[in-house]
Amino acid sequence: MTITTAMVLAAGLGTRMRPLTLDRPKALVAVNGRALIDHVLDRLVEGGVRRAVVNAHAFADLLETHLCRRTDLEIVISDERSMLMETGGGARQALPLLGDDPIFVANIDSLWDEPSGSAVARLGQAFDRRRMDALLMLAPLENQLGYDGMGDFFQDADGRLAFRDATPTAPLAYMGVQAIDPAILREEPLEPFSFTRVWRRAAAAGRLFGTPLGGYWMHVGDPEAREKAEARLKAQT
């Protein structure tokens, strides 16, 4: 299906990105001359998104001013100045702004190559709300930089996901973009919480799925990863 609305999670404190976030939100840290949030919004627009709800907390005024410059999509701010709601809570608070149709949810600290065309468009086309609550874009551990975890998920032949939990490693990592049916958030209380809580409920019901990114993932979580991502992008130009 074609998904035209996205939730962009831009309200984090960016503590791991210090000192670059001492005077700006993490979303406005530049990589190769462009703010992280613009890299992500560019990918979303290329994938068919026409409306983005962006949550804001730290340096919210700076972020709003920056986003006003974009004219290629409608941008609505979900204000979290009074309380940081975390990933799941931020999307839950923004539900009245998101509508009832499936949406994308995207972090602002992921950049990626697209050798096979728009990964976001393919994610939207693969999402089937009849059997999925969430469809996560995944990257293999050997095809990324900046992620130092041990993997997040295992995947069966039908595409369903299981959490790594106590297993030492798993082959696939969530790379920061997913398609969801927003109805899965309505059962949640309006409080700060991680998206993992929603995913676990979906996994228990057999409704958590994954799909491959099909490119190289750059997790830009700290200054060192920012430098590596910038060097990779410059080498490609």
Predicted confidence at residue 116, as pLDDT, reads 86
* Two structure tokens written together for 5: 């609305």
From residue 151, alpha-carbon distances to 144, 167, 179, 180, 225 in Å are 12, 10, 20, 21, 18
Q: Is the pLDDT of residue 237 over 80?
A: no
Share of the chain above pLDDT 70, in %: 100
Under a CB-based contact definition with an 8 Å cutoff, are residues 28 and 36 in contact?
Answer: yes
Give 236's pLDDT tier (boundaries 50, 70, 90). Answer: confident
Q: What is the mean pLDDT of residues 120-147?
A: 97
Q: For position 108, which CATH number holds?
A: 3.90.550.10
Q: Is the pLDDT of residue 40 over 90?
A: yes
Give 138's pLDDT tier (boundaries 50, 70, 90). Answer: very high
Predicted confidence at residue 86, as pLDDT, reads 94
Predicted confidence at residue 232, as pLDDT, reads 95
Q: What is the mean pLDDT of residues 131-144?
A: 97
pTM recorded for the entire structure:
0.96
87-111 burial code (b ≥16 CB/10 A, e <16)? bbbbbbbbbeebeeebbbbbbbbbb
Predicted confidence at residue 111, as pLDDT, reads 97
CA 219 to CA 145: how far, in whole Å? 6
Q: Whole-number mean pLDDT of the chain?
A: 96
CA 190 to CA 234: how far, in whole Å? 42
Closest CA to 98 of 39, 26, 180, 178: 180
- Which residues on adjacent β-strands are paired with residue 54? 8, 77
**Count of domains in the chain?**
1
Domain residue limits at 112: 5-236
Share of the chain above pLDDT 90, in %: 96
Predicted confidence at residue 178, as pLDDT, reads 98
Predicted confidence at residue 222, as pLDDT, reads 96
Give 159's pLDDT tier (boundaries 50, 70, 90). Answer: very high
Predicted confidence at residue 171, as pLDDT, reads 96
Q: Helix (H, G, I), strand (E, B), or coil: what is residue 6?
A: strand
Closest CA to 145 of 79, 77, 224: 224
Q: Helix (H, G, I), strand (E, B), or coil: what is residue 231?
A: helix
pLDDT tens figures, 104-129: 999 999 999 998 899 999 999 999 99
CA 65 to CA 63: how far, in whole Å? 5
